[in-house]
Amino acid sequence: MSRIAVIGGGIAGCTAAAELAAAGQQVLLIEKEDSLGGNIKNYGCKADSLCTRCNLCLVDSVFNQVHQEENIEVLFDTTVIDCLKEDEGFTLITSSGELEEQQPDISEVILATGHTRWSELETGTPEIFRDERIIWASDFEDMLEGRQDQLTGQNLKFDLGFEPESAVFLQCNGSRSLQEKARYCSKVCCGYNYRIARVLRNNFPEMDLSMFFIDMQEAGFLVNLSREDLKEREIDYYNCKPLRLEKEKDSLILHYEDQQRGKMATLETDLLVLSEGIHPGSNHERWARIFNLQENEDGFLRTIWSPAESGIYLAGTITSPGDIATTMAESKTVAYKLLENKLSKAKV
C-alpha cells in the first residue's frame, strides 16, 4: 500500500500526520532529530492566572497520538536528500547518519520543516546585544518549563545570574528590517512577548515592565492585544523602536524618541528582552529544487503547481510565519484537502 510522507515532526507535520492516520492512511513521518516536537518541543506554559492561549496545551496530545498511531511510521535522525518521481507517486531518498535509503511507494508528500528563529542564525546577534543583561525572548522557555509558581507557589526563577527589577521587551527585532534580512512582520512575536510579560507581571507585581512596538500586532485569533489590556496589567506601551542603547554598569539605557512630545527620552532597565523574528528554514533551496517549489522574496516556500496535481503539499511555517494555533488549524486543513483530492482522484 502506498504511503503519505510527512517531512518534519514539529507541530505542523504531526498535526497533519495524525489527521491522515486517523482517516486510515499510512503515513511515513521523517524527522531530522531524535524526537518529535521541533521548535516547540521544550517550550513552557505561558499562563498567568488564566490561560494566555499560546496553544501549547494542545500539542502534546498530538505528539502522543503520532507515537501511538499504528498507521504512522516515524524515522528519526533522518533527512530527505532527494525525491524521485515515479509513474505513480514518488520514491524519497533519505539519509540517516552514513546510511542512505530509498523510501518507495510514496503517494503524496507534505513538507512541514518549519522555520529558523532569528536567534539561531549566526548573523543573528549584533555586537551591541552581547551582554548578560540582554536576552532573547526564547531564553525564557527554559525558565518557564521549570516554573514552579502554579502549584508550589514559588516565583519564577531567573536563570540569569541576577534578579532584574525591571524588564523591557523590544519588538520587531529580526523582523521588518532589511539589515536583518526580514522586511516582513513575523506577526507572532508581539503575542509571544506579551504572554511572557504577563507571566512576569503575575509573578512579580512590583516589576517595571515595558514593551517597545513599531506596530503592535494582534496576538492570534483568540487574543486581542490592545493598549487597554497592557494598561490594565501595568505594562508600559511605547509606540516606537528605541534608537540607541547605552550600557552602564548599573543598568541599560534605551534612548527613544518621545513622539508625542517631540523630544528624545531615556528609559533605564535591568533586563532587555529581544523578540526574535521567524526566518525561513535552512533547507529551502534544497526543497525548492527537489520538490519543484518556489522561494518567495522573503525566502519562504510556495507551490508552483497545484498540490492536487503535483502531490506536494506545504504545511506550517515553511510558507510564512505563524503561531501554534494558526499552524495547527492550517495543517489540519492541508490534511483534509489532501484526503479530499485523493478521494476525487480515486473516483476518476
Partner 1 sequence: MSGSIEQYDVAYIGQALPDDELSQVTIPVSALTECRGEIGDFTLSFQAEDDLKQVRASNIVINLKHQEELPVDCCTSLLEAEANLAEEEEPLIIVQDYQDLSAAALSKEGLELALEVKESNPAREVYYFYQAMRFMDNNDELYEKAREKEVIFLKHDLGDLEITDKGKVSYQREDIKLELTGELTVAPELKPAAKLDKLARIFNITRGPEGYLQVDNIYLQPTLSGKRGVYLLAGARGPNSLTYEQEEIQYTLQEVKRNLTGVEEIDEEERTVDDQKCVVCYTCYRLCPHGAIQRDEELNSMKIMPLACQACNLCISRCPMGAISRSGEDEQQPKDERQVIICENSAALAREKAETDPFADTVVTEVPCVSTVKKEEIYQRLANHKSDLLILGCISESCKHLTGHDRCEQVVNTAKEDLEKLDLDPDRVNYHRLSPRMATDLSAYLADWKGEVLQ
- Cβ neighbourhood burial of 26 (10 Å; 0-12, 13-18, 19+): middle
Window 201 to 220, contacts with partner 1 (CB under 8 A): 213, 215-218
According to the binding rule CB under 8 A, does residue 222 interact with partner 1? yes
Window 185 to 204, contacts with partner 1 (CB under 8 A): 185, 187
Q: What are phi and psi of 226, to 5 degrees?
A: -140, 165
Look-up of cell digits 534544497: 286
Is residue 297 within 8 A of residue 159, CB to CB? The reply is: no
Which of 33, 18, 15, 25 shows the shortest CA–CA distance to 108? 25
For residue 127, give Cα distances in angstroms to 115, 177, 328. 24, 17, 36
- 3 state DSSP class of 132: coil
Query: Of the two residues 23 and 288, which places its CB atom closer to partner 1 in the complex?
Result: 23
Query: Nearest 5°: CA angle at 285, between 284 and 288?
Result: 85
Where does this chain touch partner 1 (CB under 8 A) — which range of 91-99, 102-110, 128-136, 224-232? 224-232
According to the binding rule CB under 8 A, does residue 47 interact with partner 1? yes
According to the binding rule CB under 8 A, does residue 100 interact with partner 1? no
Is residue 34 within 8 A of residue 77, CB to CB? The reply is: yes
According to the binding rule CB under 8 A, does residue 330 interact with partner 1? yes
Is residue 104 within 8 A of residue 91, CB to CB? The reply is: yes
Which of 73, 88, 100, 145 contacts partner 1 by CB under 8 A?
A: 145
Residue type (1 letter), 325: A
Is residue 194 within 8 A of residue 225, CB to CB? The reply is: yes
Where does this chain touch partner 1 (CB under 8 A) — which range of 144-152, 158-166, 195-203, 266-274? 144-152
Which of 88, 100, 131, 146 contacts partner 1 by CB under 8 A?
A: 146
Which of 27, 43, 311, 317 contacts partner 1 by CB under 8 A?
A: 43
Say how many CA atoms lie within 13 Å of 37 toward its Cβ: 12
Where does this chain touch partner 1 (CB under 8 A) — which range of 3-11, 46-54, 104-112, 301-309? 46-54
Which of 121, 160, 265, 329 contacts partner 1 by CB under 8 A?
A: 329
Query: Of the two residues 31 and 330, which places its CB atom closer to partner 1 in the complex?
Result: 330
According to the binding rule CB under 8 A, does residue 165 interact with partner 1? no
Residue 233: how many CB atoms within 10 A of its CB?
A: 15
Number of residues in contact with partner 1, rule: CB under 8 A?
A: 57
According to the binding rule CB under 8 A, does residue 228 interact with partner 1? yes
According to the binding rule CB under 8 A, does residue 262 interact with partner 1? yes
Residue 228: how many CB atoms within 10 A of its CB?
A: 10
Which of 3, 32, 53, 198 contacts partner 1 by CB under 8 A?
A: 53
| Contact string 58-77 vs partner 1 (x = CB under 8 A) | x-xx--x-------------
175-210 CB burial, b ≥16 within 10 A, e <16: bbeeebbbebbbbbbbbbbbbbbbbbbbbbeebbbb
- From the CB of 151, what's the least distance to partner 1, in Å? 4
Query: Of the two residues 221 and 305, which places its CB atom closer to partner 1 in the complex?
Result: 221
Which of 151, 178, 346, 348 contacts partner 1 by CB under 8 A?
A: 151
- From the CB of 212, what's the least distance to partner 1, in Å? 12
Read off the C-alpha cell for 343: 478521494
Binding residues vs partner 1 (CB under 8 A) = 23, 43-45, 47, 49-51, 53, 55-58, 60-61, 64, 144-152, 176, 183-185, 187, 213, 215-218, 221-222, 224, 226-228, 239, 259-262, 325-326, 328-330, 332-333, 336-337, 339-340
